[in-house]
């Protein structure tokens, strides 16, 4: 009976943990955005502390309106003037260019942040880590080593947005059949969630 209860308990944890964690994260995000614009915008004049959810809806509407305005001809014209002014300021110029390139890479039409999933010898020879192939480095970097280099982002579990950017010769990259989303799940779950082996179903 005790063994069965233990099995039920562990099974319940496995079933409920993803649901509870996801709900908690969504709720925290909702509360953060809901309080982003202050009590007045959240309807503090109608109800002490504001109306729950009104701030969240307001932020969503503001983002949508900003996106619609940004797509207009006038906004593009003003954006060009502002961009030209920012590029004239030494410190702001470097920061603006970096942020613009990052935004275009992840959100623009040339989205190619990660190309494929590979295994790389990291952090030491004989130990392999999941890596995402990114854009190749400038040619001068390869000329210095005498080899063609590939940029690889090695994520740190369980947060795939942090990690190390390393450059390897092409011969050191071990190809895999993993999709980007499958590899991300493996990183987030610290290796607990793995895709099924195609050979098993064969």
Whole-number Å distance between alpha carbons of 158 and 152: 18
* pLDDT number for residue 103: 58
* pLDDT number for residue 44: 61
Q: Which residues of the chain have pLDDT under 70?
A: 13-15, 18, 34-51, 70-76, 79, 91-92, 94-113, 142, 198-202
Can you list the pairs that 107-114 forms with residues at least 24 positions away whose Cβ atoms lie under 8 Å?
A: 114/153, 114/180
- Prediction pTM value: 0.49
Contact in structure between 15 and 7 (CB atoms under 8 Å): no
* pLDDT number for residue 75: 63
């Amino acid at each position: 009976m005790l063994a069965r209860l233990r099995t039920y308990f562990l099974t319940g944890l496995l079933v409920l943990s993803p649901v509870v964690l996801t709900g908690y994260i969504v709720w925290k995000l909702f509360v953060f955005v809901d309080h982003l614009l202050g009590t007045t915008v959240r309807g503090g004049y109608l109800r002490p502390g504001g109306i729950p959810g009104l701030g969240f809806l307001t932020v969503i509407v503001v983002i949508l309106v900003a996106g619609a305005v940004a797509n207009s001809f006038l906004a593009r014209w003003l954006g060009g003037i502002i961009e030209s002014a920012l590029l004239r300021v030494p410190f702001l110029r470097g920061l603006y260019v970096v942020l613009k390139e990052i935004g275009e890479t992840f959100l623009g039409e040339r989205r190619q942040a990660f190309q494929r999933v590979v295994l790389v010898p990291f952090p030491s020879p004989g130990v392999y880590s999941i890596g995402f192939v990114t854009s190749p480095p400038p040619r001068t970097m390869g000329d210095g080593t005498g080899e063609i280099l590939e940029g690889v982002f090695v994520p740190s579990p369980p947060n795939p947005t942090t990690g190390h950017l390393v450059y390897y010769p092409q011969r050191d990259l071990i190809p895999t059949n993993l999709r980007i989303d499958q590899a991300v799940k493996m990183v987030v779950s610290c290796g607990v969630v793995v895709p099924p082996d195609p050979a098993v179903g064969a």
